[in-house]
Amino acid sequence: MTADHRYPLGPMPTPLELSAQERETALDQLRRLPQELRAAVAGLSNSQLDTPYREGGWTVRQVVHHVAESHMNAFIRVKLALTEENPVIKPYEEDRWAQSPDHQLPPEVSLTLLDALHTRLLPVLEGVMDWSRPWTHPAQGRTYTLDTLLAMYDWHGRHHVAQLTVLRGREGW
């Protein structure tokens, strides 16, 4: 294997605690994600949208739909952690989700969804008083915090945008 196109930013971070500055940076990046994802697919043709971002990987279109549904899960996880005591979150089979027919829709559907979703997610995060509120991942049996969710989903959005911009650079699109 040469360059790892799957993880252009390296692996997902799972810190239990962030500094105030790191939180500000992460919130800022999450705020910008909808427009950056939109920019990452702007002007692509249908055949470009149906090109895998790497050999054997999801198509550009599937990546966009994945980000929207992943961040819907993020929204639910944040709300659970804020309203319940150490809730157990629900993992999901993201590769199987990506095989369903909604992943063939125009990317605009999920770009619009992500716009609205982040318009709701950001004030929820900006209102967090206690970033140490816990939640548990059942498969790993590990307990994390709201800071972990913030770091994970900040990384997650940028990770998928980078997959697409790396592809566009490689293809000269």
**160 among annotated binding-site residues:** yes
DSSP 102: G
Please provide residue 134's backbone torsions phi and psi, each rounded to the nearest 5 degrees. Answer: -90, 155
Distance of CA 79 to the CA centre of its chain: 16
> How many residues does this entry show for the chain?
173
Measured between alpha carbons, how far is 81 from 129 in angstroms, rounded to an integer? 12
Reading the block at residue 88, the tokens are 């157990």
Cα–Cα distances in angstroms (integers) from residue 72 to residues 5, 75, 154, 167, in the given order:
25, 5, 14, 25
**66 among annotated binding-site residues:** yes
Q: Strands 134-137 and 142-145: what pairing?
A: antiparallel
Alpha-helix runs per DSSP H in the chain = 20-41, 46-49, 60-83, 94-97, 107-126, 146-171
**137 among annotated binding-site residues:** no
Measured between alpha carbons, how far is 84 from 78 in angstroms, rounded to an integer? 10
Annotated binding site for Zn(2+): 66, 156, 160
Annotated binding site: 66, 156, 160
